[in-house]
Amino acid sequence: MERRTFKILFFIKKTRVSRNGEVPVLLRVTVDGLRAETSINLKVNPELWHASTGRVSGTNRKSEELNNTLDTIKLKVMKIYREMEFDGIRITAKGIIEKYLGKDKKSQMTLLKVFKEHNERCALLAGKDMSPATVERYETSFRHTREFIRECFNKEDVLLEEVNHKFIVDYEFFLKTKRNCCHNTATKYLKNFKKIIRIALANEWIKKDPFANIRFHLDEVEPVFLEDHEIKKIMEKPIKIERLAIVRDTFIFCCFTGLAFSDVKGLKREHIAMDNNGALWIRKRRQKTNNMCNIPLLDIPRRILEKYKDHPSCVKNGTLLPVPCNQKMNAYLKEIADICGIEKELKTHSARHSYATSVCLANGVSIENVAKMLGHSDTKMTRHYAQILDKSIMRDMTGVNAKFSMQGLE
pLDDT per position as a tens digit, 279-299: 999 998 887 777 788 899 999
Give me the phi and psi of 192, to 5 degrees please: -60, -45
pLDDT of residue 103: 66
Terminal C-alpha separation, the chain: 86
In this predicted structure, what is the pLDDT of residue 406? Answer: 56
pLDDT digits (tens, 9 = 90+) for 152-177: 888 889 888 889 999 999 999 999 99
Non-local CB neighbours of 359 within 8 Å, separated by 6+ positions: 231, 255, 256, 258
**How far is residue 397 CA from its own chain's centroid?**
43
Residue 191 to residue 137: CA distance in whole angstroms: 11
User: How far is residue 369's CA from residue 235's CA, in Å, rounded to a whole number?
Assistant: 25
Burial per residue of 48-85, b for 16 or more beta-carbon CB atoms within 10 angstroms, e otherwise: ebeeeebbbeeeeeebeebbeebeebeeebeebbeebe
Q: Is 362 exposed, middle or buried (0-12, 13-18, 19+ CB in 10 A)?
A: middle
Residues in the chain: 410
Which residue from 28, 10, 14 is spatially nearest to 71, judged by alpha carbons? Answer: 10
Q: Which residues of the chain are modeled with pLDDT < 50?
A: 1
Beta bridge partner(s), residue 49: 56
Closest CA to 255 of 279, 237, 285, 231: 231
For 314, list phi and psi in degrees, rounded to 5. Answer: -70, -40
Amino acid at 310: D
Please state the pTM of the whole predicted model: 0.59
Q: Look at residue 283 in the predicted model and tell me its pLDDT.
A: 92
10 Å Cβ neighbour count for 203?
A: 12
Is residue 323 within 8 Å of 264, Cβ to Cβ? yes
